[in-house]
A and B are shown apart, each in its own frame.
Chain A
Amino acid sequence: MENSSKDDYKIQSFDIETQTLLKTALNDPGSVDLEKVCSVIVEQSLKDQIFSREAGRICYSIVQTEAKQNNGSSFRRHLLTRLQQEFIAREETRRRSTQDWVCLVSFICNIFDYLKVNNMPMLALVQPVYDCLLRLAQPDALKNEVEVDCLVLQLHRIGDQLEKMNMERMDEMFYLLRDGFLLQEDLSSMGRLLLLEILEFRAGGWNLSDTAQKYYYSEVTD
């Protein structure tokens, strides 16, 4: 059983009691109420931006451990069911709070990234992820920097995987992004910058050339 320090899973934002619950779940999933664990993780992911981008890792660990321990998959099932509910209600969430909406997208994408099935991405999530990202590529979303930022982050992380699973929808997405960049007048300059970078990123095979890297990131200190 691997030694899971707090830092690996970014669970510092939880209260102590919950952290203990999570650590127990990581070591001995059979001994805890996995539905509750799932609920706790999902709730936090939907409001904590940092955690929403990292929750996939802890989820995957729990899934693996449960499978090894008793060949069970109940945590994964709870997680997916909950995720599906949130996905179905996403438009409502977006209307209510942009922050919650971008957290939801980050979370779904992070789960897609980490929760592999026999080292393959979960097919069931491909279309939902695309649905979310394509929503972010709509004009009313592109004008919000927060949403553009979320979109490009996800594309950086999982764009190449998504493209492999469905090239056509990725093409459609980039039609929208090009159109937005070129034609949309209410984009902020940061929004435009982010879009230009992602256009170049994909054009470079999901990689940024050295010169582009310098252009976009020369002021970023590592």
Chain B
Amino acid sequence: MSTNQKYTSENDSKHDENRNKGPSRWSSCRKRGADGSLRRSHPNEEENKDQRCSQRPERFTTPESEGPVSRVKNWGDEVEAEEMRSNVHRDMHRYRRRILAADSPQRDRKISSGSSESRDSKDSPAKGDVETDETTLMRRQKQITYGKNTLAYDRYMKEVPKHMRQPGVHPRTPNKFKKYSRRSWDQQIKLWRVSLHAWDPPAEEGSELEQIEEIDLGEIMDFDFDVECSADTETASQYPESKGASLSLQEDSFTGTPKKMMKIEDAEMA
């Protein structure tokens, strides 16, 4: 069966325009159109089906979508995007509550079990400085997810509990809710990811010592990255690994503790 035939509309009119005019999929039961005018008497069932097919819009905006959504979408992709979106919104609520709590006179610093990446002990942004653009947040979240879906991060989490993290010594996930320029953000991500390599598992025999390359993570997010990916994903992050490229700046790529990184971090490694 041809999917396209079923779903592609022959006219390009948007859903809204179609609603009030002519037969729709529901016209067999409705006496009046949505604009109140009486409908013609019902065409027979078969005809109705064809008309339904041909008049179904190809793209439309629903309350739950951000913009026009094309009809034939892969359910797997959609659900993954839904999940990320709802995670981002949940994070946003938590973050807002945390800022408000910090602003309150009691300065009651309750540490919830939420992600630490949004927790700023010293520099809570002013209320107007929260990043709220969903596209940006989703993009940033993807970058963070890639970083957390690594062996290094997993080992880091196991080795250093959050409450024992020392600022300057231990890598800290960039806060996606703060306002940063694109360049600034991408740079923070790079530095963060590089710093996580301190926790890469010991190199296996035969692996080469590669240079730590500057990779433009912004580009990678947009298309499939043909790299030898480690099939194993193993971290305690609430964001699932998506079908796209899993950046493999992990176990095989880098060996040893990058001492230079420690200097950048400006502290001694424990």
Smallest Cβ distance from A74 to chain B, in angstroms? 9
Picked from B29, B73, B236, the residue with its CB within 8 Å of the CB of A176 is B29
Picked from B79, B149, B240, the residue with its CB within 8 Å of the CB of A124 is B79
B182 at the interface (CB under 8 A from A): no
Question: Are B78 and A124 touching (Cβ within 8 A)?
Answer: yes
Question: Are A71 and B79 touching (Cβ within 8 A)?
Answer: no
Smallest Cβ distance from B113 to chain A, in angstroms? 15
Q: Give the secondary structure class of A's interface.
A: helix
Q: Which A residues between 80 and 111 are near B, CB-CB below 8 angstroms?
A: 80-81, 83-84, 88-89, 91-92
User: Which A residues touch B82, using CB under 8 A?
Assistant: 117, 120, 122-124
User: Which B residues touch A157, using CB under 8 A?
Assistant: none
A159 at the interface (CB under 8 A from B): no
Question: Are A70 and B76 touching (Cβ within 8 A)?
Answer: no
Complex-state Cα separation, A138 to B239, whole angstroms: 41
Complex-state Cα separation, A67 to B239, whole angstroms: 9
B80 at the interface (CB under 8 A from A): yes
Complex-state Cα separation, A176 to B234, whole angstroms: 50
User: Which B residues touch A175, using CB under 8 A?
Assistant: 26, 29-30
Picked from B64, B73, B86, the residue with its CB within 8 Å of the CB of A117 is B86
Given contacts A71-B235, A73-B80, contact A88 B3 (CB under 8 A): yes
Category for how many chain A residues contact B: 20 to 34
Look across to chain B and name the residue whose beta carbon is closest to the beta carbon of A137: B29
Question: Are A118 and B74 touching (Cβ within 8 A)?
Answer: no
User: Which A residues touch B251, using CB under 8 A?
Assistant: none
Smallest Cβ distance from A149 to chain B, in angstroms? 22
A156 at the interface (CB under 8 A from B): no
B265 at the interface (CB under 8 A from A): no
User: Which B residues touch A76, using CB under 8 A?
Assistant: 76, 79
B6 at the interface (CB under 8 A from A): yes
Question: Are A122 and B6 touching (Cβ within 8 A)?
Answer: no
Question: Are B30 and A71 touching (Cβ within 8 A)?
Answer: no
Question: Are B83 and A118 touching (Cβ within 8 A)?
Answer: yes
User: Which B residues touch A117, using CB under 8 A?
Assistant: 79, 82-83, 86
B87 at the interface (CB under 8 A from A): yes
A36 at the interface (CB under 8 A from B): no
B1 at the interface (CB under 8 A from A): yes
Look across to chain B and name the residue whose beta carbon is closest to the beta carbon of A80: B75
Picked from B73, B236, B237, B243, the residue with its CB within 8 Å of the CB of A77 is B243
B51 at the interface (CB under 8 A from A): no
Q: Which A residues between 113 and 154 are near B, CB-CB below 8 angstroms?
A: 117-118, 120, 122-125, 134, 138-140
Question: Are A88 and B45 touching (Cβ within 8 A)?
Answer: no
Q: Which B residues between 62 and 92 are near A, CB-CB below 8 angstroms?
A: 64, 73-76, 78-80, 82-83, 86-87, 90
User: Which B residues touch A122, using CB under 8 A?
Assistant: 79, 82
Interface string of B225-248 (1 = CB under 8 A from A): 000000011111101110100000
Query: What 7 new A-B contacts, CB under 8 Å, besides A71-B236, A80-B76, A123-B78?
Result: A71-B233, A118-B83, A120-B82, A122-B82, A123-B64, A138-B45, A139-B45
**Can you list 12 contacts pairing A with B, beta carbon distance less than 8 Å?**
A67-B240, A70-B232, A70-B233, A71-B239, A71-B240, A80-B74, A118-B83, A123-B64, A123-B78, A124-B78, A140-B45, A175-B30
**Interface residue ranges, A against B (CB under 8 Å):** 67, 70-73, 76-78, 80-81, 83-84, 88-89, 91-92, 117-118, 120, 122-125, 134, 138-140, 172, 175-176, 179
